[in-house]
Amino acid sequence: MTTHRYIVVMTCAALGACALQPRPVEEGESARTGTPPPRVVAAKPEPSRLPLPNVELSEDLLFKLMLAELAVQRGQPHVAVPAYLELARTTRDPRVAQRATEVAWNARFSSAALEAAGIWLQADPGSAQARQVIAALLVNQARLADAQPHLEKWIAADRQNVGQSFLELSPLLARHKDKAEVLKLTQALAKPYPDIAEARLAVAQAAWNADQQQVALDEARAALKLRPDWELAALFTVQVLQRSSNEEALRFLGEYLQKYPQARDARLNYARLLVDAKNYPQARQQFELLVTEYPQNADVGMAIALLAMQASDYDAAQIQMQRVLELDYKDPDLVRYYLGQINEERKRFDEALKWYSSVAQGEQYVNAQARYAGILAKQGKLPEARQYLQQVGANSSEQRVQLTQAEAQLLREASEYQAAFDLLGQALEKTPNTPDLLYDYAMAAEKVDRLDVLEGNLKQLIKLRPDHAHAYNALGYTLADRTQRISEAHGLIETALKLAPDDPFIMDSMGWVLYRMGRGKEGLDYLQRAFKQRPDPEIAAHLGEVLWVLGQQDQAKKIWAESLKGHPSNEVLQSTVKRFLP
């Protein structure tokens, strides 16, 4: 039997192993299951620079290599991971350790991946990839102190790309729950690089996540001072400024665009802020500048069209959407769907029906069918609308659920609450424990005073989906509004707010439950923030009531009057106004 320094490379090449790359983790996967480290790829190390061990090509070693790789190919991680880890321990070969790390990483065997990466780094101390993997795994395990020296060495190892390293650092740390600790770590990592704009922005982002707004603003401005034309830093600065003042954000972005008029994303955001501020003439000027500058860019055209829709400028929106369609936009059915919406808003129902019916099977298909039926219902053809939805071909059980939800919504809008309740109940019997149906059935139950069904369904939904913020919120709000179980309601809404802290409807619920607890001043803050973010008629009803009780009757009347203009038939708003202004 011979001794061969490159036996691992030869064996891996024969099996096709070394060409495989670890699967990237999808957006939304938890830190527990893993976050991909920056720039980690499965690349063959350079034999000339590595202190490769002499490994005897024994029958036992060859068998284990083949067994490990075949287990990977067959999707048997419980066999592959221990086998590769044992090979890494035995050979101390950096290539085997790298492959063991990749296999364990893909299989979400964190402990094995960390051990294998440690062997990899010991065998190849200069490997930036190994150090990145170790740092990522330690971060995922909430071991920030242990990760810090690896991150420091990783950043320092590539002096030419320190800025890029900091850009990759932020998403790596973003999912860690202790935002204050992440800020401390990022500040420590950035301290040796005060003149690197990306380092300052990384601190700004960490500060923002840790709710340190002033630190975030100061660091973002420092990044811009180092790189005045950096659009990413400018847009982040706008995000921070918006928290306290839309006017200040608008002023900042306007001044930035005067200096850097070619900043496309900045101009799009400027137009969006102008629409939010209801400054439609200036917003349209920005649209026109963008169209002139990027006449053949379908993405820019789509962004402009959506902003025009938000501004209720349906003429401009239609022109832009049709132009986007001519430019072969990547998702033509989405454009057709929006053209249906635009014509529906303009009361051109025949044209809207034409566009909705042109949407092919795909992501927008069910929504388009629901809008088509909605127009029939608006024309007084509710039976035909229901029949239309029932005849739509569903390609999956998910689509059938969506069509049932759309039919129930038509019934609710027609105030046929019992029929909606019955329809959703029948659907739930066919597909029990369907989260969307459980939620909608609970909401329908509230309309027919079946609070027992509401509570039972929402508790079942919480059991199935413990992260469903709106299930906690709906149950908490109902208990606060319809029962005396105020303390229980407060706890449920607290949980909802932790899961979705920026949701205006959950903020509204918290304000309402605090008011019901006799803590109106505390509740007012939540209600005002919710209404500022989303001027919904029901939020307006709650905000007005709390303002009235706190002695601010004129302000309450103003909010109610403005909301009634846009939502004259909202039942909650009407009921509230009648109680205080009979």
Would you list the domain boundaries of the chain? 1-157, 348-414
Res 296: pLDDT: 92
Res 152: pLDDT: 87
Class of domain 1-157: mainly alpha
- What are 193-252's pLDDT values in tens digits? 999 999 999 999 999 989 899 999 999 999 999 999 999 999 999 999 998 888 999 999
Distances (CA, A) of 454 to 418, 482, 490: 14, 12, 17
SS3 at position 498: helix
Task: Count Cβ neighbours within 10 Å for each residue of 354-382 and write b for 16 or more, e otherwise.
Answer: ebbeebeeeebbbbbbbbbbbbbbeeeeb
Res 51: pLDDT: 60
- What are 50-100's pLDDT values in tens digits? 566 766 667 778 888 888 888 888 888 888 889 888 888 888 888 888 888
354 pLDDT exceeds 60? yes
Res 57: pLDDT: 63
Res 330: pLDDT: 93
Reported as a pLDDT band with limits 50, 70 and 90, residue 154 is confident
∠164-168-170 over CA atoms, to 5°? 125
Q: Cβ distance 319 to 302 under 8 Å?
A: no
Q: Cβ distance 235 to 227 under 8 Å?
A: no
Q: Cβ distance 493 to 508 under 8 Å?
A: no
∠272-274-277 over CA atoms, to 5°? 115
Bridge partners, residue 4, by sequence: 55
Higher pLDDT, 411 or 122: 411
Tokens representing 411 are 């019934």
18 pLDDT exceeds 60? no
Residue 405: CB atoms within 10 Å? 20
Residues contacting 99, CB < 8 A, separation 6+: 12, 17, 18, 42, 84
Q: What does the mean pLDDT of the chain come to?
A: 87
DSSP characters over 509-578: HHHHHHHHTT-HHHHHHHHHHHHHH---HHHHHHHHHHHHHTT-HHHHHHHHHHHHHH-TT-HHHHHHHH
Task: Give the residue carrying structure tokens 């109680």.
Answer: 579
SS3 at position 4: strand
If you average pLDDT over residues 345-352, what whole number do you get?
Answer: 96
SS3 at position 55: strand
- What are 23-34's pLDDT values in tens digits? 333 333 333 333
Q: How far apart are the first and last CA of the chain?
A: 100
Task: Give the residue carrying structure tokens 């029906």.
Answer: 353
